[in-house]
Amino acid sequence: EIGAGLPGPGSTLPSEASLGARFDTSRVTVRKALELLREEGLVSSRQGAGWFVSTDPLPQNLTRLGTIEEQLVASDRSSDREILDFAFTTAPTWVSTHLNTADVLEVRRRNMADGVAFARVTVWCPARLGQHLTRAQVEAAPFYEVLDIELAGATQTIAAAAAGDDDAGVLGVPVGSPVLRCTRITSDADGNAVLVAEHVFPGHLTEFVVDLPHIGAIDPAGLRLVEGDG
């Protein structure tokens, strides 16, 4: 099945217990079979993530403001997006604090890479800026392309997390498996926050890359130490 492309690269395999039930064999035998497939380079495993079809993680560069689609195209990966929710609603408190309004357009989507769930993305936009947008528009193109405003840049925070029930279902990974959670605050030319986005990536599918300058040069773009609450 893997050789035939089903499931595709990066796809999470059924649990060892499920495979044992399907093929009417013991979990020990299933584990040995998976180990043999790993030796052949067909599957990989990570603590907490289970087994998945081998794939090279997509490197995402942090030194410029870009979209998931741009990163995928640059890596010769196919890119698709599926809108899961589109609604004018009240923003969560932490989002309204950044946008200075609670009235927002909230769009929740799933990004696919080569047919595999690559990210769950939720974007909040002030209702006054998103009032003319349609579901079809945000499914066809990123907010950066459909908003008629000049963007100045963004601040992005990346942290390790564990997949909750909702994200596990959207991304096709086990509950509790490692994910990267990225929060991005995008500002306009006047320095006002106009977009808040939360990206959640399965931990085995991507990695973030920062170019570090030589000692004595300026600080690397896109990298700074943020002190948390503990």
Question: Per the structure block, which two tokens stand in for 82?
Answer: 């599926």
| Range among 77-86, 125-134, 172-181 with highest mean pLDDT value | 125-134
- Tell me what pLDDT residue 123 has: 96
Identify the CA nearest to 121 among candidates 167, 165, 178: 167
- Tell me what pLDDT residue 230 has: 46
How far apart, in Å, are the Cα atoms of 221 and each of 63, 70, 156, 177, 217?
A: 5, 19, 12, 30, 11
pTM of the model: 0.76
Identify the CA nearest to 111 among candidates 35, 60, 38: 60
Average pLDDT, whole number, for the chain? 85
- Tell me what pLDDT residue 9 has: 76
Rounded CA-CA distance 149/55 in Å is 37
DSSP state of 100: T
Mapped onto helix, strand or coil, the DSSP state of residue 223 is coil
Question: Per the structure block, which two tokens stand in for 35?
Answer: 């180990």
Helices 27-39 & 16-23 angle (0-180, nearest 10): 110
